[in-house]
Amino acid sequence: DGGITQSPKYLFRKEGQNVTLSCEQNLNHDAMYWYRQDPGQGLRLIYYSQIVNDFQKGDIAEGYSVSREKKESFPLTVTSAQKNPTAFYLCATGGGNGGYTFGSGTRLTVV
């Protein structure tokens, strides 16, 4: 059945290392989004893509990069330029009714 899959569930990064978070969907949705959530906080938009081969910066894009080569996939790379990357990362797809479907998240920790 259709859904959105994020992997891995937990990820550990060393200082100065780039890491990539995976987000795959089979809902046939055009729009995909990446959010960051810090403990006890709301959702902050990192990047979004309304269509394949196009993406836009969100509110906190510095230190992150994305690609959208396929409709099904929207990976997020957390680069060494992101000074405080420890957080819970959520990927979402946008449906026609305006609601988003979220993945189960990736918890990234710097060690």
Partner 1 sequence: GQQLNQSPQSMFIQEGEDVSMNCTSSSIFNTWLWYKQDPGEGPVLLIALYKAGELTSNGRLTAQFGITRKDSFLNISASIPSDVGIYFCAGLRGGTASKLTFGTGTRLQVTL
Q: From residue 46 to residue 85, what is the string marking binding to partner 1 with x (rule CB under 8 A)?
A: --x-x-------xx--------------------------
> Is 17 or 50 the residue whose CB approaches partner 1 more closely?
50
> Is 3 or 70 the residue whose CB approaches partner 1 more closely?
3
Neighbour tally for 54: CB within 10 Å? 9
Q: Which of 11, 45, 52, 61 binds partner 1 (CB under 8 A)?
A: 45
**104 binding partner 1? (CB under 8 A):** yes
